[in-house]
Amino acid sequence: MGVSKLMDLLTDSREVIRNDVLLLLIELTKGNSNIQKIVAFENAFDRLFEIVREEGCSDGGIVVEDCLILLLNLLKNNSSNQQFFKEGSYIQRLAPMFELSQDSEEAGWSPQKISNFHCLLQVVRALVTPSNQQQVVAACQRVMQKSRLLHALCEILMSSGVPADILTETINAVAEVVRGDRDNQDELGRVMAPSSPPRPAIVVLLMSMINEKQLLALRCAVLYCFECFLYRNSDGQRAVVQTLLPSSTSDVSALSTGQLLCTGLFSTDALANWFSAVALMHSLVENVALKEELLRVLLATPGGQRPITLLEQCTNLMQQERYRLQSKVGLLMLLSLWLAHCPGAVKAMLETQGTMAYLTAQLCSNEHDEREFLVQGMCAFLMGLCIQFNDNSLPGQKREDISQLIIKRIGQESFCNKLAEVSRHEAYSRACKQAQIRAKSAGELLLDYEYCKLYKGLEALIAKLVSGFDVDGIELTELTLSSEASALVSQYKGIIRGMDAQIQGLQQSTKDLEQENAELKEKLGEEQSLNSQLSDQNTLLKAQLGASAGQVKSAQGAETTTANVEELNAARYQANMYFAENIRLTKDLETLRQQLTAEKQRADTALESLAATQKDQEDLLELLADQESKLTRYEEAATTIPFSTSNQAPSGPVTEEESPIPSGTASR
């Protein structure tokens, strides 16, 4: 009840008491979720908003900043308070604070106003940061759009005279408000800058990103905003790619996102190269159809020569020695994500002259610089993608051909060691932590979050694929066997293909069950979170009920006021409601657990069936190997049986030309 007494002091008429209580509550709520919940349920949000309004909102003094810092402490990493804040319609009360009046614009930005506004933006981001629970983020994003908070933030983006650090933080806030929400992404796409001629806000932001005179933090914020604009937004991705494709209806003189990204990609500024490559990479994330479309992009060349494809140009730039390391890292990330799951892109890159020779030379070099190790690892990953997603349509560049090149020129062990260099680099661990791009200096910008996610998913698969090839392992074909043996081998192969199909079906069933299991677990987590919130509220109400009962008991012998007895009955009624809701949620939780148990049993059954099928396949393979061994012995025995005088072979050992089996052929 000590916190309750402190909260009462927030309404004290003596400002010095109120201000000291604010400072004390700021210290108490740092990193303590229990105190954060108690303070929130003690009507803290209402009281803080009242103080902020009385003190002049963002134009107020240090007290406003203290209130916003306390508000930030209550919301950051606390899903219960975030849910309470959203359901209490406090986001609607937050939105008007971002509206810049003409008077405030003329008055300028004082240092205190900058601090207050920075805290306001931090409060917004605390509600929609990607590390929060997804259902809470989605709900807050919808409210921010309906309350026109997003509109107010976009107005600040396009306003003049906004300080650089406030503009940077506003861009980051807009990024997280629109991330993954299609309505918010569409609204940002419709924002027009008050320029002459008017241009989309996205285009204006990208112009700042590729401008080397802009601050690094601002350029990073623009890239993060562009990534969030494209996150799970297939229409936005398609719009970017369409600006690169030839069209008879497009205005050639108008700047487009595609033109800006190409300008940055081919400029002399290494940072612009990196930013543009990463931005273009995000327009292809999880969209194979657009990867195929981007292969059609042609670039004009000087001297009237034939146009060159965008992929060919990126591959050529990667091979140039004058291209700096940061630029190469950006291109390697772009090419890797482009080639993943897209055989057409793999084929196009393999057809580019000198690609395999360059990658091989990179992996054979003995550079000792840490950054060079990173480039070698990324080259190994790109080379592995050329094996994994190769459709074997190019003679001399098939999966086996590239694998043999690795075995003979690089070595399997050396290749796998260089491949692992990416995950050992400091930039990898830094980029994996969060989607937002953070860098204190330009040199820290190396790897991107989406590239790290792709690498993490495919590294082990590529290493296993390359390690599985044998330099002497040549596949046994039906040509070296008799007709009976060929028929038997074909029969075995048919059985194995059938079993492979059955295994794939079981694997798909297992995958579906695992996905359903994950959805049930997520739903169970949501119910548990809601149950926890209700338990917290129930505990608080019990404490309030106990305090009220104590007040009634201490007042025995005196006349009990009617007001206290109304308050007591209301608290009991509310507690009963929470008890009933808790019981209902407990039942729902038990039902979900039963469903989860049933799904787990189904998954176990499917896995057992899969294991049995795999064992049958292994038995068949052993039988096939035994059959091949017998056939080999029969053939060897047949060559030693003497023939009649008229057909007798010359005496002496059989030469290589006379051997019925081609030289170098071995059974496997």
Q: Where are the domains of the chain?
A: 1-190, 476-511+571-636+664-668
Residue % of the chain over a pLDDT of 70: 83
φ, ψ for residue 308, nearest 5 deg: -120, 145
Q: Does 557 have pLDDT greater than 90?
A: no
Confidence of residue 327 (pLDDT cuts 50, 70, 90): very high
| Tens digit of each residue's pLDDT (9 = 90 or more) over 47-77 | 999 999 999 888 889 999 999 999 999 999 9
Give pLDDT, residue 486. 54
- The angle at the Cα of 567, spanning 561 to 569, to the nearest 5 degrees, equals 105
- Pick the closest to residue 454 from 567, 612, 327, 341 (CA basis): 341
Confidence of residue 208 (pLDDT cuts 50, 70, 90): very high
Helix (H, G, I), strand (E, B) or coil at 542: helix
- Largest distance between two CA atoms of the chain: 136
- What is the CATH topology of the domain spanning 1-190? Leucine-rich Repeat Variant (1.25.10)
- Pick the closest to residue 364 from 321, 405, 424 (CA basis): 405
How many Å apart are CA 63 and CA 58, to the nearest integer? 11
Give pLDDT, residue 254. 67
Say which residue, 572 or 361, is predicted with more confidence: 361
| Tens digit of each residue's pLDDT (9 = 90 or more) over 520-542 | 777 777 777 777 777 777 777 76
> In this predicted structure, which of 214-223, 379-388, 480-489 has the lowest mean pLDDT?
480-489
Give pLDDT, residue 487. 58
Q: Does 113 have pLDDT greater than 70?
A: yes
| Mean per-residue pLDDT, 134-138 | 94
Number of CB atoms found within 10 A of residue 424's CB: 13
Q: Does 476 have pLDDT greater than 50?
A: no
Give pLDDT, residue 538. 73
| Mean per-residue pLDDT, 351-371 | 86
Say which residue, 268 or 526, is predicted with more confidence: 268
Confidence of residue 477 (pLDDT cuts 50, 70, 90): very low
Confidence of residue 559 (pLDDT cuts 50, 70, 90): very low
171 close to 221: Cβ distance less than 8 angstroms: yes
Give pLDDT, residue 122. 97
| Beta carbons within 8 Å of 71's beta carbon, 6+ residues apart | 45, 48, 123
279 close to 226: Cβ distance less than 8 angstroms: yes
172 close to 122: Cβ distance less than 8 angstroms: no
| Mean per-residue pLDDT, 382-400 | 92
Say which residue, 147 or 321, is predicted with more confidence: 147
| Beta carbons within 8 Å of 318's beta carbon, 6+ residues apart | 328, 331, 332, 335, 358
Say which residue, 485 or 345, is predicted with more confidence: 345
Which token pair is 161? 């005279």
Number of CB atoms found within 10 A of residue 583's CB: 10
Give pLDDT, residue 627. 82
Q: Does 475 have pLDDT greater than 50?
A: no
Query: Which contacts qualify for 501-510: CB closer than 8 Å, 24 or more apart?
Result: 502/613, 503/610, 503/613, 503/614, 503/617, 506/606, 506/609, 506/610, 506/613, 507/610, 509/606, 510/603, 510/606, 510/607, 510/610
How many Å apart are CA 436 and CA 175, to the nearest integer? 9
Confidence of residue 572 (pLDDT cuts 50, 70, 90): low
Give pLDDT, residue 260. 95
| Mean per-residue pLDDT, 76-97 | 93
| Count of CA atoms in the C-beta half-sphere (13 A) of 539 | 10
Confidence of residue 591 (pLDDT cuts 50, 70, 90): confident
Q: Residue 70, class by beta-carbon neighbours within 10 Å (0-12 exposed, 13-18 middle, 19+ buried)?
A: buried
User: How do beta strands 308-309 and 199-200 pair?
Assistant: unpaired
Which token pair is 404? 């043999």
- Pick the closest to residue 74 from 146, 143, 16, 25 (CA basis): 25
331 close to 355: Cβ distance less than 8 angstroms: no
Give pLDDT, residue 357. 93
Q: Which helix (H) or strand (E) holds 369?
A: none
Give pLDDT, residue 350. 94
Give pLDDT, residue 663. 37
Mean pLDDT of the chain: 84
- The angle at the Cα of 534, spanning 533 to 536, to the nearest 5 degrees, equals 65
435 close to 225: Cβ distance less than 8 angstroms: no
- Pick the closest to residue 135 from 433, 513, 525, 518 (CA basis): 525
| Tens digit of each residue's pLDDT (9 = 90 or more) over 431-445 | 998 898 888 899 899
Confidence of residue 473 (pLDDT cuts 50, 70, 90): very low
How many Å apart are CA 549 and CA 559, to the nearest integer? 15
DSSP state of 320: -
Distance, CA of 361 to chain centre: 32
Give pLDDT, residue 648. 42
- The angle at the Cα of 353, spanning 350 to 357, to the nearest 5 degrees, equals 80
Query: Which contacts qualify for 424-431: CB closer than 8 Å, 24 or more apart?
Result: 425/370, 425/373, 425/374, 425/377, 427/374, 428/452, 428/455
How many Å apart are CA 209 and CA 201, to the nearest integer? 12
